[in-house]
Structure 1
Amino acid sequence: MGPSPGQDADDALYERLRTYAGCPAADAAHGRDPVNAPMIRHWCEALGHPVPPDGSAPATMLQVWTMAGLARDGERASGAPTGQGGRAGPYVELLAELDGAGCTAVVATDCEQEYVRPLHPGDEITFDAVIESVSPRKRTKLGTGYFVTTRMDVRVGAALAGTHRFRILKYRPKPTGPAAGQGAHRGGARRPRPVVNRDNAGFWEGVARHQLLFQRCAACATPRFPWLPGCNTCGSSEWRAVAASGRGTVYSYVVMHHPPFPAFDPPYAVALVELDEGVRIISNVTGVRHDQVRVGMPVELEFLRVDDDLELPVFRGRA
């Protein structure tokens, strides 16, 4: 038997997609804002780390200065430099090809960064990005689709500051709703699935047992969350999983109004919760209205069944 018509169509699609490899994803784009002390401080406070003594941006903030915000492609703030945060035409065309083929869902899968020099407040960054590769069609738990990898070079003047390699999966979402054996929400839409990998699988196994697990370094006893393969205090790769009590307080929060997203009903509160054990986790706050959430509010862990095959840890607030 020869290939099916569907396979022929997928093969033809991949032949078109692979021609985008080597094309620009962003061309001579400018950072939306200069590197600045307030953003550095907010970042460090959210992660629970001190600002570097010299005031420089933590290296892992590399991508922050390239992000365009909520403006749609082609839009930019009044007075902004030409090319600011804009995607180059080939990248927009590639995503449109995938959307047209039914690969309308997207999830970020992984990133790699290389740091050449620190960034300091006042630095104006520019960046170029290229489409490195488009994978053949892949079958995943989320659905069937294509991995798209881009590489971005971030510069201050002519000097390279770092390289950011980013990979997404554009895929055809599986059928949702009761007919597909899934809990429906807002016209059949369902919550995005968490990406489970070898580094965080233990956390999700704990959630299935109604436990909120964090890691404690076996060498220096530093607790950490989210799950990581090594301790960022001493570098040890040895650790043990510890069940949190589930009690904590709201360290910070935002109320989401925009953009609307299928399976979510804005407005709703998303909080950075500091657990009694000293680690922080981002989750929804339940049990109180979004406008009642406050910094310092005591919260307690509960597990929310979102649909037939997904349960998530959330925190019930006490107004």
Structure 2
Amino acid sequence: MAEQDWMSEVRAMVGREYGRVCAWDEVNAPMIRQWCEMMGVDNPLYTDAAYAASTEYGAIVSPPAMLQAWCLEGLHPNNYPPGSTTENPYEVLRLLESHGFKSVVAVNSDLSFERYVKVGERLYYTTRLDAVGEEKTTALGTGFFVTLIMSFFSEKPTGDEKVGELLFRVFKFRPANVQAAEAPKVEMVQKIKRPKPGVSDDTRFFWDGVAAGKLLIQRCKSCGTLRHPPGPVCVKCHSFEWDTVEASGAGSIHSFVVMHYPEVPPFDHPNPVGLIELDEGVRLVAGLVGAKRNEIAIGQRVQVEFQSFDDGELTLPLFRPVAP
């Protein structure tokens, strides 16, 4: 099948290199420590200066999986430090979207590493549009695989050194059951429902409680330890006996992310998601409502709010910021 004329513009982008995106800060021990705490990583090579000094590396190094984090823009979108490019490395995705390929069904990324990154190094990355595949037709629709390569470098007086690489691949497609963009008919577009949570014997009590407007937390009957997510055994005393306690629903934002891309219906975008620390002492992940992107803050007080979706088929615990 002959490709549309506009695809020649897409093909011409392949191989394009986009300028560097710089890191705001040098690789530093406080950020490494906080990342390890959040991810539950306790390798002393990353946090114990005395231990790290006794190894072949001679000092604290950054966890390899943290590579991408050093060059993120921070809380505000596209807020990169001076010296960063103003080019949009995702322009090919916007071009595909403008021709009706707006949906995403598959995204994958692979990180590879040349070496450990040490405290004091300053990183940046460049982006190359590596490939736009041939048109593929699936049961979901027709689209294209787009592959981007981000190469990470450490600035050196003798010449910058490559330290790692990120491959990002996404499938952009036009849904088979949606009419072409040039002649849309709203009545032919099927309403997309929110994905339902997976429910097991361990978690059923939680979702039954949510449906009833209660935030139930699992409690060990032997030692009283609260735990979330729910599980079959107490991590403290290993007892299998448990009951539940109804939480007040009050807490604070321990951490949060704001999802900007890809835009996945039926969620609103930007889509804020918080790690909520309940006053009872456990944490859970939930959506944030009633707050503008630039008003969300660590430590902000929140209160649970149960909302129903898809004509009452699904109820979710969301959290709304409240006045101090």
Q: TM-score, normalised by structure 1?
A: 0.55
Higher Cα Rg, which structure: 2
Equivalent pairs, count:
266
| Greater Cα offset, 42-51 or 57-66 | 42-51
- Partners of 1:208 and 1:304 lie apart in 2 by 13
- Counterpart of 2:136 in structure 1 is 137
Match for residue 57 of structure 1?
Answer: 62
Equivalent residue letter for 1:271 = G
Aligned residue runs from structure 1 range 85-104, under 5 A: 86-87=87-88, 92=91, 94-104=92-102
State the alpha-carbon separation in 2 of the partners of residues 310 and 177 from structure 1. Answer: 24
In the alignment, structure 1 residue 19 sits paired with structure 2 residue 11: yes
| 8 Å contact kept, 1:32–1:84 | no
CA contact (8 A) 1:244 1:277 kept: no
TM-aligned CA deviation for residue 147 of structure 1 = 2.5
Q: Are residues 100 and 13 of structure 1, via their aligned partners in 2, closer, same or farther at CA, if it must alter by over 3 Å?
A: farther
Distance 1:36-1:133 versus aligned 2 partners, 3 A rule: same
| Structure 2 SS opposite 1:19 | helix
Q: Secondary structure at the match of 2:69?
A: helix
* Residue 121 of structure 1, CA deviation: 3.7
Q: Taking structure 1 as reference, are residues 104 and 19 closer, same or farther at Cα in structure 2, changes over 3 Å only?
A: same
Once residues 77 and 172 of structure 2 are traced to their aligned partners in structure 1, the CA distance between those partners, rounded to angstroms, is: 21
CA shift, 1:99, in A, is: 2.6
CA distance in 1, matches of 2:86, 2:36: 24
Counting only pairs closer than 5 Å after superposition, residues 19-58 of structure 1 correspond to structure 2 as 19=11, 23-27=15-19, 29-37=20-28, 38-49=30-41, 52-54=47-49, 55-58=60-63
Q: Is the 8 A contact 1:66 1:85 kept in 2?
A: no
The change in CA–CA distance for 1:76 and 1:125 in structure 2 (over 3 A counts) is: closer
CA distance in 2, matches of 1:208, 1:13: 51
Contact 2:116–2:163 at 8 Å: present in 1 too?
yes
Structure 1 distance, partners of 2:167, 2:228, is 25
Equivalent of 1:164 in 163, 166, 174: 166
Deviation at 1:272, TM superposition (A): 0.9
1:108/1:169 contact within 8 Å kept: yes
For residues 166-315 of structure 1, the aligned pairs below 5 Å read: 166-172=168-174, 180-182=189-191, 247=247, 249-252=251-254, 270-274=273-277, 280-284=284-288, 295=299, 302=306, 304-305=308-309, 312-315=316-319
1:112 aligned residue: 110
TM superposition shift of 1:23: 0.6
Percent identity, aligned pairs only, is 23
Instruction: Indicate the SS of the match to 1:99.
Output: helix
Distance 1:295 1:76 in 2: 25
Shift of 1:49: 4.5
Counterpart residue type for residue 134 of structure 1:
V
Letter in 2 for 1:61: M
Q: Letter of the aligned partner of 1:112 in structure 2?
A: D
Alignment partners' CA distance in 1, 2:308 and 2:256: 20
Distance 1:302 1:267, change over 3 A: same
- Deviation digits for residues 175-227 of structure 1 (CA, Å, limit 9, x no counterpart): 69776452xxxxxxx78x66x9xxx9668x97987699xxxxxxxxxx897xx
The residue type paired with residue 103 of structure 1 is F
Output the amino acid matched with 2:26: V
What do you get for the CA RMSD once the two structures are aligned? 5.6
Does the 8 Å contact 2:15/2:131 carry over to 1? Answer: no
Report deviation, 1:59: 2.1
TM-score (norm 2): 0.55
- Tell me the distance in 2 between the aligned counterparts of 1:277 and 1:266: 30
Structure 1, unmatched stretches of 5+, are: 1-7, 183-189, 213-222, 226-241
Q: Is the 8 A contact 1:134 1:148 kept in 2?
A: yes
User: Where do 5+ consecutive residues of structure 2 fail to align?
Assistant: 50-59, 179-184, 216-226, 230-241
SS at match of 1:23: coil
Offset of residue 57 of structure 1? 3.1
Secondary structure of the equivalent of 2:126?
strand
Kindly provide the amino acid, as one letter, of the partner of residue 153 in structure 1. S
Whether the 8 Å CA contact 1:300–1:317 is kept in 2: the answer is: no
Q: Is the Cα contact below 8 Å between 2:23 and 2:122 reproduced in 1?
A: no
Aligned-partner Cα distance in 2 for 1:85–1:32: 14
Cα distance change of structure 1 residues 63 and 127 upon mapping to structure 2, 3 Å threshold: same
Q: 1:306 to 1:65 in 2, by over 3 A?
A: farther
